Chains A and B, each alone.
Chain A
């Protein structure tokens, strides 16, 4: 299985902060990388696919970059509704695998 490792596992930030989350794959996955946001009691929600393409309806403050094994999710200006847990997921190998999550908490 392709292992996905996120860092940090949690971070504290304030409204308006720029937040960066990284994800590393155990092998080259080119740009077969998706990002999800999950709020407590809810299912994950797709934010970005193909490493950098914003899903319809997702605010432009979210962006993704990277290729190969190293990827980044950036929130340019954190909003109150962005406090959540974020997961990366590779879509190259079977089974599809997720990172362990990064929890964005209020400072």
Chain B
């Protein structure tokens, strides 16, 4: 059974860096049939994919334009986890943050089948 366990602070001050970690059990961050995402949810922006990391003979990362330049997603193969770092946060970054696994079973289709428990993160001084 695949599980994702999130950890990290729930309160960050404006202009500081948000750091969250997603520990994987039952699968590998180096899997060649999955991608590992960070997704956030807020009343103003809804569900928003922030970025992903995945391994296909080498590591790839892709980021949403809305956070590009402020975001880093890193895999950690030694701990079988991946992390989110979002710099220069503002109150607009207040949201529930999820990590999620995306699988691609066939025919170009893909979907998010496993999610972390979510972290309600508040940006406030």
Contacts and interface: CB of A to CB of B under 8 A. Distances in A.
Contact of A43 (B48, B102, B110, B117): B117
A46 B113 contact: yes
Given A43-B98, A43-B117, A43-B118, A91 B111 contact: yes
B111 A34 contact: yes
Contacts of A45: 115
Interface in A33-75: 34, 36, 42-46, 49-50, 55
Given A97-B49, A101-B46, A91 B109 contact: yes
A32 B107 CA distance: 10
A14 interface: no
A43 B107 CA distance: 26
B47 interface: yes
A100 B100 CA distance: 19
| Majority-rule SS of B interface residues | strand
Interface of A: 1, 32, 34, 36, 42-46, 49-50, 55, 87, 89, 91, 94-101
| Majority-rule SS of A interface residues | loop
A94 B109 contact: no
Contact of A44 (B49, B64, B112): B112
Given A32-B109, A49-B109, A95-B64, 12 more contacts: A1-B65, A43-B115, A44-B112, A50-B109, A55-B111, A91-B110, A95-B62, A96-B102, A97-B49, A98-B46, A98-B48, A101-B47
Interface in B50-94: 62, 64-65
B47 to A, nearest CB: 4
